[in-house]
Structure 1
Amino acid sequence: MKLLRWLIGRVVILVNFLTQPKSPKLSAERQQEIAELTKNLSLYHLPTCPFCVKVRRAMKREGIELPLMNIKDNNYAVREELVNGGGKPTVPCLKITHADNKVEWMYESNDIIAYLENLVKQGSASTATAA
């Protein structure tokens, strides 16, 4: 079973590599704006998890770069932080640190993608109204 899981994981990584979406061409100002909007976010993931790949691909399409916290990288502190904060060792999980230092843990790939897309969309709308 472990061999099958390893093999499927490698296939997921290969398919992701071969079909990688392109990053958008963004101005330096827009890149800075997105970085500012996402500075309090980090993604807990596994490299071979298909749902994590789905989130990372959506991030690439939107031009979002987040710190990626690999829970399987022989780094038990990262996994423990996820379990202690979010309550379960499930990935993908988006850690959102609010301005008041309150931390929210968001699970479910579709919810994470929708949150990130909405965040970027709201940021571009506020920039358009300010201009």
Structure 2
Amino acid sequence: MKFIRWFLGRVILLLNFVFSPKGVKRSADAQQTANEKAQSLALYQFEACPFCVKVRRAMKRQSVSFDLRDAKNDQAHRAELEAGGGKIKVPCLRIEKEGNVEWMYESSDIVAYLEKEFA
């Protein structure tokens, strides 16, 4: 079973690489604003998780990047996720606004949030 999960994960990553989405084109000022807004975000994820791939593809479509934190292999990030969000479930978007931290878990909710914030 472990081999099957590993193999399917690699297939997902390969397909994501081959069929990578195009990002939105912005003016330099608009892109700088989007980059500044993205600095308050962090995505806790597993590399080959299909729901995490879905969120990373949405990031690429919006031409935005933020800190990707590996909650599978990095014990510090895993502990942060459990302590802050309350459970080890990925993908999880950590949103910091005005000193408050919000944890968003569902991939569809995260994609909708990214489309709303960066469209």
TM-score range relative to shorter protein: over 0.9
- The answer for unaligned runs of 5 or more in structure 2 is none
Specify the structure having the higher radius of gyration (Cα). Answer: 1
Task: Output aligned runs, 1:27-42, within 5 Å.
Answer: 27-42=27-42
| CA drift at 1:13 | 0.4
Q: Which residue of 2 aligns with 1:90?
A: 89
Distance 2:118 2:24 in 1: 13
Distance 2:49 2:12 in 1: 8
Query: What amino acid sits opposite 1:93 in the alignment?
Result: C
Q: Which residue of 2 aligns with 1:55?
A: 55
Q: Which residue of 2 aligns with 1:118?
A: 116
Query: What amino acid sits opposite 1:48 in the alignment?
Result: A
SS of residue in 2 equivalent to 1:104: strand
Distance 1:26 1:97 in 2: 24
| CA drift at 1:43 | 0.5
Query: What amino acid sits opposite 2:38 in the alignment?
Result: T
SS of residue in 1 equivalent to 2:54: helix
The alignment of Structure 1 onto Structure 2 pairs a total of residues equal to 119
Distance 1:36 1:67 in 2: 12
- Deviation per CA, 1:45-69: give whole Å up to 9, x if none: 1110000000100110011111100
TM-score, normalising length: structure 1: 0.87
| CA drift at 1:116 | 1.1
- The answer for unaligned runs of 5 or more in structure 1 is 122-131
TM-score, normalising length: structure 2: 0.95
Q: CA RMSD in A?
A: 1.0
| CA drift at 1:24 | 2.2
